Structure 1
Amino acid sequence: MKPYIRTGLIWSALMIAVMVASTVWTLSALPAEGPIPVHFSLDGTPNRYGTRLEVMLVFSFVPVIAAIVSAILAVAPSLDPRGANIDVGSKAYIAVWIGVMIVLTLAHIGACMVLINAINGTPAGPGIVRGIIAGCALLFVAMGNYLPKTRPSFMFGVRTPWTLSSDMAWEKTHRLAGRLFMIAGGLGFIGAFVMNGIWLALQLSALVFAAAIISVVYSYFAWRGADDHDEGTSLTV
C-alpha cells in the first residue's frame, strides 16, 4: 500500500471513530419516549421532530458517507490511468483527503451538539453553523493552496476535456483555480461570521461555484493557447 494512501486511511479511521463515539454519546442522551428534534433552523431552533429510530438513522449517515468517501479515495489512484501523476502530487491529494475527513467530523460533532442543546431546551444559536461553514471555507483555502501542485489525472483536480488533453492547459488552469479557491475560501470564512439568515448558508456555496465555473471556462482558453493541445490523429477504423 502506498504511504499516502495508508496515511489517509489512518486519518479516516480516526475521524470515523470520533464520529461513531459522538453518535453513541448523543443517542445515550436521547429521551426514551416522545418526539425528538431532527431538523433545525439556522439559529439552532428545532423545526421538525421525529422518532428515536429516525435520529439513529440520520446520525449514522455522516460516518457511513465518510467511510464511502475514504474507500473511493483509497482506490482512485489505482483505477486512474494517470495514477502515477496522483503519486507525484500526493501531498495535494492527502491534504484534501484529510481536510474532507476533518470537516465531516466537525460537522457531525456540531450536529450532535445542536441536538443535545435542543433536548436540554437551550438552542445552540447560529454559532455552530458559523463554525461549520468557517471550517469548510478553510478547507477550500487549503485545496486552493495545493491545486497548482497537482498533475493531470482523471480523478483529482479541474478535469475538463481541455485540461486532460494538454499538460500546459492543466498547469495554467490549476494555477488560476488555486488562487480563485483560496479567495473564495477566504471570503467564505469572513462571511461565516458577518453574514446572517439565508446568506449565511449560501455565501460559501456561491463563491465556490463561481470559482469552479471561471476555472472551467478558463481551461478552454488555456487549451486554445497551449502548444501541446491534442490535435488527434489521421487514423481511421
Structure 2
Amino acid sequence: MKITLPLTASAVLLTAMAAASIWGWWLRGSEAELAVHFLWDGTPNRYAPAPFALSIVPLAAAFATLLFAVTPRFDPKASASPRLYKGLWLLVLLTLAAAHALIVWHALTTAR
C-alpha cells in the first residue's frame, strides 16, 4: 500500500502544528497557564503549563503518524482496504490538528 499522500499530509500538519506551538510559546511565554480541555460550549475547564499544553497534541500526532505508517507492514488487514485506512489516518490527524488549533487560538486570544 502506498502511503505517500497521508504521510505528506501528516508532515505538513505536523510542521504547521510545530510552528503554531513555537509561535504561541513565544507570544505567551513558558510560565503561562493555557486551556487544554473545553466544555461543549467552548469554555475551558482544565489548564496546563504552556510547554505541556503546546507540545502534547503535536507529540500525539507524531505518534499517530508513526503508528499509521508502520501498521501496514505488520497487519495485513490494514492493507486490505487502503482507502479506508488512509481516510482514517487523515481523519485522526485532522482531528488532532483541529484540537491543537483550538488550544493555540484560545491561548492567543485570552489572557490568564
TM-score (norm 1): 0.41
Residues 1:108 and 2:108 aligned together: no
Where does residue 38 of structure 1 map in the other structure? 34
Question: Gapped runs of 5+ residues in structure 1?
Answer: 122-237
For residues 41 and 6 of structure 1, what CA distance do their matches in structure 2 show?
A: 34
Q: Number of matched residues? A: 109
Higher relative contact order (CA 8 A, sep 6+): 2
The offset of 1:86, in angstroms, is 2.8
8 Å contact 1:38–1:46 — kept in the other structure?
no
Aligned residue for 1:29, secondary structure, equals: helix
Question: Gapped runs of 5+ residues in structure 2?
Answer: none
Where does residue 63 of structure 2 map in the other structure? 68
8 Å contact 1:46–1:118 — kept in the other structure?
no
For residues 10 and 52 of structure 2, what CA distance do their matches in structure 1 show?
A: 21
In the alignment, residue 95 of structure 1 is paired with which amino acid? G
Which among 4, 11, 14 is matched to residue 12 of structure 2?
A: 14
Residues 1:26 and 2:24 aligned together: yes
TM-score (norm 2): 0.81
Pair member with larger Rg = 1
C-alpha distance 14-31 of structure 1, shift in aligned 2 (>3 A): closer
In the alignment, residue 44 of structure 1 is paired with which amino acid? T
For residues 87 and 46 of structure 1, what CA distance do their matches in structure 2 show?
A: 40
Percent sequence identity over aligned pairs: 21
Listed one character per residue, the Cα deviations across residues 152-204 of structure 1 (whole Å, up to 9, x for unaligned) are xxxxxxxxxxxxxxxxxxxxxxxxxxxxxxxxxxxxxxxxxxxxxxxxxxxxx
Q: Could you list the structure 1 runs, at least 4 aligned residues long, displaced by more than 4 angstroms after superposition.
A: 45-48
Which among 89, 95, 107 is matched to residue 97 of structure 1?
A: 89
More strand by share: 2
